[in-house]
Chain A
Amino acid sequence: MALLHLLLAQATSDPTKGLTAIGRGIVYGGAAIGPGIGIGLVVGNAITAMARQPESAGTVRTTMFLGIAFTEALALFGFVLAFIISG
């Protein structure tokens, strides 16, 4: 019961603060969708390539890290943007 009162006091003290937090969550969550799918595609296809041609695993691994780095950049932009948002 005391916890509930505490939560209520926190919730009613500054309503815009909560909205900012929700906005940050939406920004980062939205920015993570595409890169999540993209990194899955990159790594999945790299594993297929390595399984089919184990002798080319070194080249494939280097290219895979490059692909991950390019794909991941978008998620990181969202991460930084979530910090930039202020309420």
Chain B
Amino acid sequence: MNSLLLSVDVPPISHVTIWGSGPLGINRTVAVYIFATLATTLLFWLGTRKKDALVPSGFFQNTAESGVGFVRSQVIMATMGPDGLGYLPYLSALFFFIFFSNITEIIPGVQFPANARLGMPLVLSLFTWAIYMVVGIVKQGPGHFLKNSTVPSGVPWWVLPLVVPIELLQVLIVRPFSLMVRLFANMLAGHLILVTFASLTAALWALSFTVVIAPFSFALLVAMTGFEVLVSFLQAFIFTILTAVYIDSSMHPAH
């Protein structure tokens, strides 16, 4: 009663389902990642079985083809241009993997976005970091890559001691860190909002005189659930397009 009145009862963060123990034990986060991996693999496997057919048909082929078409036109052609079409498989897989591990946030019974834990966003942003570093070094050579990414054109020489460390820090640390935190914090914030309103509705329902307020809390819960569908899609899109932008800055340096 006290905790219901004074604060909302939110389940503790350690209170997640764990199956098994030791290195092979999995919890809900791992289960969601396994689901996302299988879903991405199956989508493209089942979607490309009839790739010689002139007209796409069936749920899997339509979804896979429109998804790849979306990544191709909205992500790659909008940032890298035709040079970047070689990255289409990686970026499509990245988009669908992040989307599938985000969308579990609103699937009843699971209701947990796996990217609300720091691990996988960290790994994915390190992949992005490695790709744009390697692309920059291979395409431009180490010296030119360092110069092009740390010395912006049109800057007076006496500002350079200030600008060069900032730009170096940005390329080396801030880019992957902000990629990681953006995905992680967006999903965590959305999850916390849903948890808070669900707990609040339950707490208001349990008390006799506050039942009249419960429908408002519930309505907001439903609205935020709809909003989280948008956020799941948008965060997958933004992670993919920022990866494309960073690769583009390594492929085509600004003059």
Contacts and interface: CB of A to CB of B under 8 A. Distances in A.
Query: Bound pair: A and B?
Result: yes
Given A62-B241, A65-B238, A76 B6 contact: no
Given A59-B78, A69-B238, A69-B242, A3 B5 contact: yes
B2 interface: yes
Interface in B220-255: 234, 237-238, 241-242, 245
Most buried by B among A59, A76, A77: A76
Contacts of A76: 181-182, 185-186, 189
A62 to B, nearest CB: 5
A85 interface: no
B5 A6 contact: yes
A62 B2 CA distance: 49
Interface residues of A, number: 16
Tell me the dominant secondary structure on chain B's binding face.
Answer: helix
B178 interface: yes
B185 A6 contact: no
B74 interface: yes
Interface string A27-52: 00000000000000000000000000
Given A62-B78, A65-B234, A65-B238, A7 B182 contact: no
Contacts of B184: 80
A26 interface: no
A19 interface: no
Interface string A56-74: 0011001001100100110
Contacts of B78: 59, 62
B245 A66 contact: yes
Given A62-B78, A65-B234, A73-B178, A80 B185 contact: yes
Nearest to B241: A66
Nearest to B235: A69
Contact of A62 (B5, B74, B181, B186): B74
A77 B186 CA distance: 11
Contacts of B2: 6
A6 B6 contact: yes
A7 B242 contact: no
A69 B75 CA distance: 14
B35 to A, nearest CB: 26
B119 to A, nearest CB: 15
Contact of B241 (A3, A7, A65, A80): A65
A87 to B, nearest CB: 16
Nearest to A61: B74
B182 A80 contact: no
B234 A80 contact: no
A20 interface: no
A54 to B, nearest CB: 17
Among all A-B residue pairs, the 5 with the closest Cβ atoms: A76-B185, A73-B178, A69-B238, A62-B78, A79-B185
Given A69-B242, A73-B181, 8 more contacts: A62-B78, A65-B237, A69-B182, A72-B182, A73-B182, A76-B185, A79-B185, A80-B185
